[in-house]
Structure 1
Amino acid sequence: MGEGVQKAGRRPRADSLRNREKLLLAARDVFSAGGPEASLEAVARRAGVGIGTLYRHFPTREALFQAVYLRDVDQLVALAQQAADGRDPVEALRQWLHACVGMVATKKGMLTALAPSVQGSDPLFADTSRRLRAAVGSLMERAVAAGRIRSDLTPEDLMRAMIGMCYTREQPGWQTTVVLLLDVFVDGLRLPPDPAA
């Protein structure tokens, strides 16, 4: 019994952590590409590990889905926090929305390939949606405070527009089209320069 407690408290080995990271990156690539090849076996092959290694790290399809999705959300939240480094606030918002397209592509691919195993993820989506709205809200506040974009749009409005664009473009190459549409959308948010300034 004491040995089991000790094992449970051990830190994962470095190679185990590397394999987990390789699987998360591979899953993101495989599922964002979508199509019939988006399978757990394809994820393991792309990561260069056996399917048994995948299941040791992610014992269920839902566990893999949640790990990949949470990793993407964490990265988007961190990207929004890094925007305060002096970059142009409108370009920071644009870059963040471009990154969101990749997250949506991965999520779409996983929902298609792994359903119905992810049907119990509603609480996960509620929490991550709140975090993403807060992240884009901080970017928008910064751009509004600088007098660069209009102030009558809410974070919910912006996320709804971005997701709507992503889910209406299903043909191959849809991500490129959505990025272009988002550029037009962000340009439409810009305020004209103040002549008095």
Structure 2
Amino acid sequence: MPSPDLRVCFFGDSLTAGVGDDAALGWVGRVVAAARRAGTDLTGYNLGVRRETSQDVQARWLAEARPRLHQGDGRGVVLAVGVNDTTVDGGQRRVPQSGTLRAVRLVADQAGEQGWPLLVVGPTLVRDDQQNRRILDLSEAIGTQCAAVHVPYVEIGTGLQDDEWLREVAARDGAHPSARGYERLSRVIGPVFLEWLGAVAEDARIA
């Protein structure tokens, strides 16, 4: 049986867009390539925008997803936000934790209304210790919320608390890794993504 025509939109910030990767793939390009190597007829749309918060993404995602997902046998959405929310700008956190959770929940609700499966990817770490504490707290809270509404979640932050990742982002702009770092992210995200995509494909076959 041929693979169904699958289409997935990836929404997020600069980490989703792959900023800093000289190979111009980021983790998104790598997991899409892995899916295609596995025989999946997948079209991936990278819709990451630099500096965007969860609220920015929530405000735009549905309008951008509709023209890309209105056809195809199977359709899904990946949401990866949080780092910019925890940034302090002008003495204030850009988005309070409650605001992030509300934005993620709205995306989940809207995706559910459209019948599009959702996968949420947690935020990565930066070179700032205080911000990393906020990131880890937020990541845990997002994971708890996703579990409550039965949305799969890929927790990343706790696995990046090592010298290798922190040295890499510090050597660049403090937030974005090189191609090597994006390859590492793809190895963490990829297995969960492929399992989730398999479920999307199976639902498309049944339909």
TM-score, structure 1 as length reference: 0.35
Structure with the bigger percentage of strand: 2
Q: Which one has the bigger helix percentage?
A: 1
Structure number with greater CO (CA < 8 Å, separation at least 6) is: 2
Bigger radius of gyration among the two:
1
